[in-house]
Amino acid sequence: MRTLFHACRVRAVRKAERWSEILDRVGRHGTVDVRALAVELGVSGATIRRDLQTLSRNQLLVRTHGGALSSESGDEKPTRVKAAIRHLEKRSIGRAAAALVEDGAVVGMTGGTTALELSRALAQRRGITVVTNAINIASELVGHSGIRLVLVGGVARSTYELVGPAAEAMLANYHLDIAFIGVDGLTPEEGCTAYDEMEAQTDLAFLRRAARSVVIADSSKIGRVTFARISLLSGVSDIVTDRGAHPDQIEAFRRAGVRVTTVGLPSDA
């Protein structure tokens, strides 16, 4: 029975990893091919077709004859797609980031699917204050008696974040012991970047109000530069990412004076 349970868990992990890889490839290339995916992921064509059918039913891509297409135009993926990509890595990053939060801390959190995993890791903590501009993170944490929750207002984006001058003015009234921001791009030269300029400014406000500033980003964000700069690396104290990042990139961040934590997949995946 235990062997059967273990086998089911292994299959579940492999399915999640396949879906993440398929969505990542669709996001990068706009299209994927069943036969190529089957070879590259080491499974049958029938398995890939079932994966594509499931992802299509959930409106994460568009099924075509022989493959699939992206369901969205533009560079920024919708939140429902982001949540499915590299989910296991994001869970590990969230847990490692939560370990940086001391008892009694005031914690700032911007939005993003990695930050959502962080909020889940913090949900059972007691005696901390969470200041966030993300509606979905607030929904995750509201009602937990051990957490004092402050929701920063502003203009709502499709990412569930509230951004803009109203958010920044409210943040100016708070001191944060530690702030966690998600990014769309991260390089040693350009620092942290986002797709949206208003979001970048609100993220910067979180960093400026914090004694310790932490970027939480899966390795697909590293080496990428997007439209609007949030901050140079000089404004960041820590990076938490997964082990998919290239060692040279990690070393470049460390040479810039940033503490870098890399994590593997969660043991209970």
- C-alpha distances in Å from residue 187, one per residue of 66, 191, 250, 264: 36, 5, 10, 21
Euclidean distance between CA atoms 164 and 180, whole angstroms:
18
Whether 147 and 125 have beta carbons less than 8 Å apart is answered as: yes
Q: Same structural domain for residues 100 and 233? A: yes
Q: How far apart are CA 10 and CA 268, in angstroms?
A: 11
Angle at 45 between CA 44 and CA 50, to 5 degrees: 100
CATH code for the domain in which residue 66 is found:
1.10.10.10
Query: CATH number of the domain that 228 lies in?
Result: 3.40.50.1360
DSSP, res 62: E
The token pair that represents 206 in the structure block: 């979180």
Instruction: Say whether both 13 and 101 belong to one domain.
Output: no
CA–CA separation, 139 vs 148, rounded Å?
13
pTM of the model: 0.74
104 and 221 in a single domain? The answer is yes
Query: Are 126 and 256 part of one and the same domain?
Result: yes
From 72, 97, 129, give the residue that closes a domain.
72
pLDDT > 90 fraction of the chain, expressed in percent and rounded: 68
How far apart, in whole angstroms, are the C-alpha atoms of residue 95 and residue 30?
31
Instruction: Single out the residue in 15, 46, 72 at which a domain terminates.
Output: 72
Looking at the fold, whether 117 and 208 belong to one and the same domain comes out as yes
Per the domain annotation, does 137 fall within a domain? yes
Query: Which of 52, 72, 92 is the endpoint of a domain?
Result: 72
Is residue 21 very low, low, confident or very high in pLDDT (cuts 50, 70, 90)?
A: confident
Mean pLDDT of 232-259: 96
With b meaning 16 or more CB within 10 Å and e meaning fewer, what string describes 183-199?
Answer: bbbbbbebbbbbbbebb
Question: Distance between CA 52 and CA 150 in Å, rounded?
Answer: 40
Domain count, the chain: 2
Residue 206 backbone class (left: φ over 0; alpha: ψ -120 to 50; beta: rest): alpha
Q: How far apart are CA 54 and CA 105, in angstroms?
A: 41
In a domain, 268, yes or no: no
* 55 and 93 together in one domain: no
Using DSSP bridges, classify how beta strands 31-33 and 61-64 pair: parallel, antiparallel or unpaired.
Answer: unpaired
| 37 shares a domain with 141 | no
For residue 170, give the DSSP letter. Answer: H
Q: Are residues 68 and 92 part of one domain?
A: no
Confirm whether 77 is domain-assigned.
Answer: no
E strand map for the chain:
31-33, 61-64, 67-70, 106-109, 128-132, 147-151, 155-156, 162-163, 176-181, 185-187, 191-194, 210-216, 228-231, 238-242, 259-263
pLDDT digits (tens, 9 = 90+) for 175-196: 999 999 999 999 999 999 999 9
pLDDT score recorded for residue 16: 76
- Asked whether residue 145 is assigned to any structural domain, the reply reads yes
* Spatial separation of the C-alpha atoms in residues 21 and 5, rounded to whole Å: 24
Mark whether 208 and 93 lie in a shared domain.
yes
> 100 lies in a domain?
yes
pLDDT tens digit string along 65-92? 888 887 654 455 555 555 556 788 999 9
- Domain membership flag for residue 269: no
Q: Are residues 148 and 218 in the same domain?
A: yes
Q: Are residues 45 and 164 located together in one domain of the fold? A: no
Reported as a single tens digit per residue, the pLDDT across 119-162 is 999 999 999 999 999 999 999 999 999 999 999 999 999 889 99
* Domain containing residue 256: 83-263
Tell whether the model's pLDDT for residue 10 goes beyond 50.
no
